[in-house]
């Protein structure tokens, strides 16, 4: 069974060598490694080409800068493997992936394999994504009840790179990444959940995610982030796929969206007054999603923001130490 590993590359020359090296160290022969140079202005294109000269499993694609989603889509279109794995070029993979690939190759093809991941901080690390409600290495039919467990107890399928996805499943369901978003993982994983029919969950991990980098999107929240989360939320609940889901699954999807909305609006008070006005207009379109949350802080924010406004609601929640 063949696996295609897609690595979008842009301005990561200090991390790229270790990322690619970690992939090449895997003990699995039938790999296709697709490095998508997304118009990187640094030394990344040369690093990619140098690696390709040394290993014929590596395919390098040079293109004009189109963003992460565009680069991933380019990789998908050029992939020939049975499964696709996404790796960010400033992270790395662990040797655990070798055994996971061998195990998966011995089973019937499923839509997706969901794993845990290692989150690396400056002075420690922790394994995230564990779900005690799911059996390890068990092949599930994706019923609404199981999908609810995924959404409410493992942060859904986010982030994208903790999954190994059937290429046929992506192509047949047109599950390419929507371009222009900076929170493309949220949109993509929820669209995948709505189409999902089968999956395997493993409590093992293989992805090394390096957290707390200054340039990380998660460390640069602002108006663009708020706008995109609101747009994604609105588009998801207005989609035909969403309308076709059961009421219980719709509620779980709304819960996941509400969590994301609240997480981004915690940065609202850092915006200037003009940006706050723009963010408020976006919030009005999706605010009702917060009332589906099981967290007191989220529901309190929804109620207080309607009474006092977002700015005061956040200050009150902070003063009361409610998250």
For residue 292, the model assigns a pLDDT of: 81
Mean pLDDT of the region 111-117 = 96
Same domain, 173 and 63: yes
Q: Band of the pLDDT at 266, cuts 50, 70, 90? A: confident
Q: Does 132 fall in a domain?
A: yes
Q: Does 216 fall in a domain?
A: no
Q: Does 215 fall in a domain?
A: no
Same domain, 88 and 158: yes
Same domain, 202 and 237: no
Same domain, 159 and 303: no
| Distance, CA of 257 to CA of 222 (rounded, Å) | 18
For residue 323, the model assigns a pLDDT of: 79
For residue 218, the model assigns a pLDDT of: 43
Q: Does 95 fall in a domain?
A: yes
Q: Which domain holds residue 240?
A: 222-319
- 187: domain CATH number is 3.90.550.10
Same domain, 63 and 138: yes
Same domain, 113 and 237: no
Query: Considering its fold, how many domains does the chain have in total?
Result: 2
Same domain, 201 and 241: no
Span 270-316, pLDDT tens digits:
899 999 999 999 999 999 999 888 889 999 999 999 999 999 999 99
Q: Does 217 fall in a domain?
A: no
158, 181, 210 - which closes a domain = 210
For residue 155, the model assigns a pLDDT of: 66
Same domain, 186 and 296: no
Instruction: Answer whether residue 220 shows pLDDT above 80.
Output: no
Q: Point out the least confidently predicted range of 23-27, 104-108, 132-136, 244-248.
A: 132-136
Same domain, 34 and 131: yes
Mean pLDDT of the region 88-95 = 96
Q: Does 281 fall in a domain?
A: yes
pTM for this one? 0.94
Q: Point out the least confidently predicted range of 105-114, 124-133, 180-189, 256-265.
A: 124-133
Same domain, 62 and 187: yes
Strand 112-120 relative to strand 83-86: parallel, antiparallel, unpaired?
A: unpaired
* Long-range contacts, stretch 288-296, CB < 8 angstroms, 24+ apart: 289/233, 289/237, 289/254, 289/257, 289/258, 289/261, 290/258, 290/261, 290/262, 291/258, 292/251, 292/254, 292/255, 292/258, 293/255, 293/258, 293/259, 293/262, 294/152, 294/255, 295/259, 295/262, 295/323, 296/322
Same domain, 227 and 202: no
180, 210, 240 - which closes a domain = 210
Mean pLDDT of the region 252-268 = 91
Q: Does 63 fall in a domain?
A: yes
Q: Does 45 fall in a domain?
A: yes
* Long-range contacts, stretch 272-275, CB < 8 angstroms, 24+ apart: 275/222, 275/223
Same domain, 197 and 226: no
């Amino acid at each position: 069974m063949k696996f295609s590993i897609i690595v979008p590359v842009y301005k990561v020359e200090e991390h790229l060598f270790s990322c690619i090296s970690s992939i090449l160290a895997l003990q699995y022969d039938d790999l296709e490694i697709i490095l998508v140079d997304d118009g990187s202005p640094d030394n990344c294109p040369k690093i990619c080409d140098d690696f390709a000269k040394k290993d014929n499993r590596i395919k390098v694609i040079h293109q004009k800068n189109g963003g992460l989603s565009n680069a991933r889509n380019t990789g998908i279109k050029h992939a020939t493997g049975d499964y696709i794995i996404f790796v960010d070029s400033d992270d790395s993979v662990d040797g655990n992936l070798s055994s996971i690939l061998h195990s998966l190759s011995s089973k019937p093809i499923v839509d997706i394999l969901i794993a845990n991941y290692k989150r690396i901080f400056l002075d420690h690390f922790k394994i995230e994504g564990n779900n005690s409600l799911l059996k390890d290495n068990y092949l599930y039919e994706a019923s609404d009840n199981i999908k609810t467990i995924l959404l409410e107890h493992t942060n859904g399928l986010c982030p994208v790179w903790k999954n190994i996805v059937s290429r046929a499943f992506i192509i047949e369901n047109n599950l390419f990444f929507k371009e222009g978003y900076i929170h493309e993982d949220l949109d993509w994983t929820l669209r995948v959940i709505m189409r999902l029919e089968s999956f395997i969950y493993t409590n093992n991990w293989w992805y090394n995610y390096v957290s707390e980098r200054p340039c990380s999107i998660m460390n640069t929240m602002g108006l663009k982030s708020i706008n995109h989360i609101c747009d994604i939320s609105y588009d998801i609940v207005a989609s035909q796929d969403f309308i076709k889901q059961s009421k219980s699954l719709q509620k779980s999807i709304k819960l996941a969206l509400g969590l994301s909305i609240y997480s981004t609006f915690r940065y609202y008070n850092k915006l200037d007054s003009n940006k706050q006005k723009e963010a408020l207009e976006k919030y009005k379109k999706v605010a009702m999603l917060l009332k589906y949350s099981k967290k007191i802080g989220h529901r309190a924010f929804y109620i207080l923001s309607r009474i006092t406004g977002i700015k005061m609601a956040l200050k009150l929640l902070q003063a009361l130490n409610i998250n």
